[in-house]
Every structure is written in structure tokens, then in C-alpha cells.
Structure 1
């Protein structure tokens, strides 16, 4: 991976309109998600500049690696603030985005979050933060309804300690319980994949949801369950989207197919999305994930805001409600949504898809938006 500009190098283009980008580019961050997110951000920046920039000024992206570390992200926000960025973008991991949002709010720095879905992105209502991705509660309720329609009422979740995973388990439980659904949690810090298989049999679970990191321990869990004859009929699900990326199919092959997950794309791509998909496919050497489209749409929104309201941070933050721009996945508008403390696009399209067992590198849409 090419190295990113240092702080000193980032100062060379003093006339540029600078935007900070927070992206997981090293472990333990999800590198593949970070690579796709950054590809979308960078493509949109190139296209903005090819079209004349912002009032004749180039748009410059200052990229900082968060490595899925909230403290590192907060320090990066401080640095980018000192470098004079007019706004922040990016971040994939919810707990990291939450740290970045808190710091941006404290500094008075607009932050348009690209991919993190945790409902509680900030503790208090703020005008400084907006979000492209749907809130976790929105997508995961759709996923819970999908499970119920498929006849699943005894649902196991393999979890790891995390605000994000705990929030997901709570959303599932609240959505399933009124319909007779039962959620049984298994802490994967205390169980091996083999012990989890024994517990699934004991509790007669018909579905297992992976509320855990990738590739560890998600990949060994999938392998253990797939190769346990006692669990031949169990559905494995991954609402957080682990199977979206090519690494999933590379590591699991046929075992990684038929695992439904949430994906934030429309059923049919329009002209802009088709163009972006083709360009990013060539750039990445593989099909772009929905995360790449989120990155692209983030810059589309910020460029529109900058053209309409200038580079003053406060004016950007004061005008989220007036944004109306066509992105790759529909018209993007922000509103105040009950239970969400940031300006929210309500909502991007939501699909439930899986990898086709006949061809694990292809996807099947199980539930369109």
C-alpha cells in the first residue's frame, strides 16, 4: 500500500481545501474495509477536482490510519484540526467513529461519518456530526424480521465484548421477543468453536449469528459449524457484513456461502453508481463493496456543502438539513431521527444478501430494500 502524506507534506498545497479522512489501514483494523472506503473517497475527490474543484480550489484528502484504535483516531482528529481541515470523513469501525465524533464535536469540526452504524455515535445531540450509513437499529431490525419470516425463533449469537456487538444483540432481542423469538448469547472469549457447536446442539438453536470480528474468530467458527454433522440444518448469519469482502470467500470457499448479511446497496444500480462501480472495480482489481460506495457518497455530499456554503466549519455544520444531493444509492438528505443524536440520512437502501453456494464469488439478493 502506498504511504500517505506526512503532516509536513500535507502542508505543501496551501491553497487546497483540505478534508481529513479516518480509515483503518493496518491491523487490528479491518484492512479490506479500509481499502474499499479509501478507494471510494479518493475517486470522488479526483472527480471533484477534474470538474474544477471547490470554487477553483483543489480538494485535498489528508488520510490518517486509525487501525481500529479509538485513541489513535482521537489523536488523528486533533492533528487534522491543527492542519486546518474544513471537515472530517470516513471511519468504518463504530467504536472508533464514536471516539472521533466526540473529539470533532468538542473541537467544532464537521464530521460526516461514512460507514459506522452504531446508533449512539455521540452521547448528546450535536450539529457537528452527520452520517451516511444507516443506524444499526434500522438495518438489524430488518435482519431480525428476515429471520422470523424464515421461521427462526431459537437464535444463538456468538459474541465478543464490544459496545457494537452488545448493541446488536439488544436490537435483535427487542425485535424478536414480541414474536416469540429467543436470543441466546455465547461469549467467544470463553468458548472454543468446538464448544460452541456443543452448546448450539444443546440449546437446539436453528440459527447462529456471528457478532464477532473477522477473520478471528469468525472464520474458525464457520468452519467448525459447517463441518459438524449435528448442525447440518443450522442457518449461519452475519448481520454486520463480514461476508461482503473477497477475503471471506478466499478464506472459507464453499463454507462461506449461504450466510446472509446486511448490505447497503439498491437492487439496481443507476447511471452514477454503474460508473463508480466500473471505475472502482478497475482500481481495486475486484468488485467494490458497499463500503466503497459509502466513501464516494461522503465526498459527493461534502463537495455539495462546500460549494453551497463555503469552507467555514460552522456554516457547514449549520446546513446539514439543507443538503440534497444525488449519490450512488439515491438522493441523500439529512434529518433528525428519533433516538439518533447526529444528522442522519434516513435511509440508504438496505438489502439482505448472501454468497451463492453455486458460485461463492457471486451474491444473491434474499431481501431487497
Structure 2
């Protein structure tokens, strides 16, 4: 009996060696998982996690399961390069990310050199795709289109008032401020103030006091929601009713939590809210059932992974050039709606919508 058992064990071990473990397809998600933008990083991570779970439930990609690796880039260019290098070393074939334009752009060079596809859910600076890297795509619109909308809105509604444009000197913030200023000036209106502020401070009362002393009626902010929230709160604390207008990073519950009641009336541009898409209804319901509101860029992260999986299936291959050709040559039905890409990796349809903070949430401006 002992001899039979031993032989059986040896046979089982040999069979195991001849049948290696099922292969996995590794992909990454990169964003600010800690720091002032941790809230947003969590949204990107959750979107990618749920997308991977759904992809695997449907059979994976090309019959293989997908595993997600998360890296933290702190929304910092140098850290983004380090995060990208880690994903390369881990063997990923695709990255959902990064969140910040200032992180996506330097990371894209790393991915290009390694032959890895990058689809950003949220990096809006035009330079990301203007570099001409064939491996780079995004499922959001660009800041030249966003700044065009903002500049026109300012000119249409406040050309007779003093306008200030402040930015945080980041790739995203200054880029958006520059595009807004460009269109505002084209419309024949010159801003009273165009200045940088230091991001990461806990108090912006001095900056707000200077705007009030200059009789600024409208503040356009090129930067992130944390500073925007602190500035509008400082203004309301002074009884200063300056109109705050900003960009797409303001589309997060975190802005309302930091600003509190001062958030009321803040205007900003954001892409059409995918939570309102019929195609996203079941996915949104899943998030909410887990007590997670998929606001901001959550569904864009999901959509980036969803688009990649569909492109791979249509290509019949994980090979980079085949997937790139698939992305450029097909349309994709996603939680973000139907989408397709131009030769730069941008969406063929650029769309920005005006929103207002009202009653503790952001809603489309009527």
C-alpha cells in the first residue's frame, strides 16, 4: 500500500510539472494613491478593479485571466517615471493611467520604450497625444477644447467685469489656464490678473484677500480641487462673493467635502457625466451597492480597461501593434458610450459640459 501511494504521488507531481499554472495577463493602474489627490486615485483604482473583475467574469481576454497591479505616482513627474518602470519590470502589457497630465506625459516615454499600451482615463493636456507616441490613447477630451469652452463662457458672461486667472504651474493647471486665457483674449477680453499660486498650502486667505482688494468678480482656477475648495472657502469666510470657475478636476465629491457650503454655485467644465449613460447603469448600480459613488473619473478608468479588452479581442492578439491597429480601426461600446480614436490617440468627438455645485452635489448647468 505504501509503494502504491508513493508511485501515485510521483505521478501526480509529474503531471503537475507537465501542466503549468494558467497564464495571467498583467495590467496596471497608475495614479495618486496617496497625498492630496488620494480620493481621485481611489476612484481610478476602483474603476479598474471592477472592470477587471467584469472582464474575468466574462472569460478574461483571449481566454486568459487578467490581474491588476496598482502603483502610486503621487501626481509627480519623477514618481510617475518610477511607477512606470515598476510596471514594466512587473511585466504588464497595458496601463490604465495616469491621472495627472504631468505624470502621464513622462511615463508615456517609459511605456513606449517598453512596448506597453497606455490609455489615460483623465489626462487632458494636449501634449500627451501631440508627442506622437503611437502607444498612447485617452478616453477623455482635451484641454484645448476645454479652455475654448471656458474662455467663451467668461467672455459671454463677464466681459464687463474684472477676471482673474490663477494656476498652479502644473502641466494640467497651467495648460488649462493658458488655453482659457487664449480664447478669452481672442474674444477681445483681457484678464485683470494672470498669476501662479503655490499648490499644497493649507490656507489661501492671502491670495483671496489680494483678489478682493483688486475688485475681482470672477476667478478662473487652473488647478486641482483641493486648492479650489480652500480658495472658495476662504472667500466666503471673508464675505467675498467672487464667482469661482474651474476645470474638470472639480468634478469630485472631495471638492464639496473640503469646501462645505462654500461650494454652492461653483461652476466648472467636465465631460458628459457617464453615470447618466444607459450603458453604465448596471455598473453604476454595482458600485452603489458597495456604498461607493463612481463620480469623477471612476467610470473613465473602467472604460479605459473595457476599451483595451475589446480591442484585444478584436485584434485576436495582445501584441502591441495589433492592439494599436485595433484601437484605431474600430468603434467600442463602453460605459462611456460608443467611442473611437483618431490617429493621435484622441477621441474623435471632443465634448465638455458645464456643471454647477448645487445642494452638495454637481449637476449640469441649466
The match for 2:349 among 317, 323, 347 is 347
Give the alignment of 1:12-31 within 5 angstroms.
Answer: 15-28=23-36, 30-31=37-38
Residue 197 of structure 1 deviates from its aligned partner by: 3.2
Q: What is the TM-score when the length of structure 1 is the normalising length? A: 0.85
Question: For 1:282-333, what per-residue CA distance to the aligned partner results, in whole angstroms no more than 9, with x for missing partners?
Answer: 33x2421130110111011100111122111222223321131112232110
Shift in Å at residue 159 of structure 1?
2.3
Which residue of 200, 204, 208 corresponds with 2:219?
208
TM-score (norm 2): 0.85
Query: Relative to structure 1, is the Cα distance of residues 122 and 102 closer, same or farther in structure 2, using a 3 angstrom cutoff?
Result: farther
1:116 aligns with 2:126: no
Q: Distance in 2 between matches of 1:51 and 1:260?
A: 40
Aligned counterparts of 1:211 and 1:322: Cα–Cα separation in 2: 35
- Structure 1 residue matching 2:127: 3-state secondary structure: coil
CA distance in 2, matches of 1:164, 1:267: 22
RMSD between aligned alpha carbons? 2.4
**Deviations for 1:109-141, whole angstroms, at most 9, x for unmatched residues?**
211111111110156312111111111111221
Q: String of CA shifts for 1:160-191, please: whole Å, max 9, x gaps.
A: 22232221221111101122222322332399
Which structure dedicates a bigger proportion of its chain to helix?
2
Q: 2:295 aligns with which of 261, 285, 289?
A: 289
Q: How does 1:124-143 map to 2 (within 5 A)?
A: 124-143=131-150
Would you say the 8 A contact 1:265–1:290 is kept in 2?
Answer: no
Corresponding residue number in structure 1 for 2:308:
302
For the residues of structure 2 that align with 1:268 and 1:251, how far apart are their CA atoms?
23
Please report how far the alpha carbon of residue 250 of structure 1 lies from its aligned counterpart in structure 2 after TM superposition.
2.1
Q: Which residue of 1 aligns with 2:228?
A: 218
Tell me how far apart the structure 2 counterparts of residues 327 and 203 of structure 1 sit (CA, whole Å): 47
Which residue in 1 is equivalent to 2:184? 176
Question: What 5-or-longer segments of structure 2 have no aligned partner?
Answer: 1-19
| Structure-to-structure mapping, 1:1-369, within 5 angstroms | 15-28=23-36, 30-121=37-128, 124-152=131-159, 154-183=162-191, 184-189=193-198, 193-215=204-226, 217-229=227-239, 231-232=240-241, 234-242=242-250, 244-266=251-273, 269-283=276-290, 285-309=291-315, 310-336=317-343, 342-347=344-349, 349-356=351-358, 359-360=359-360, 362-366=361-365
Give the superposition deviation at 1:82.
2.9
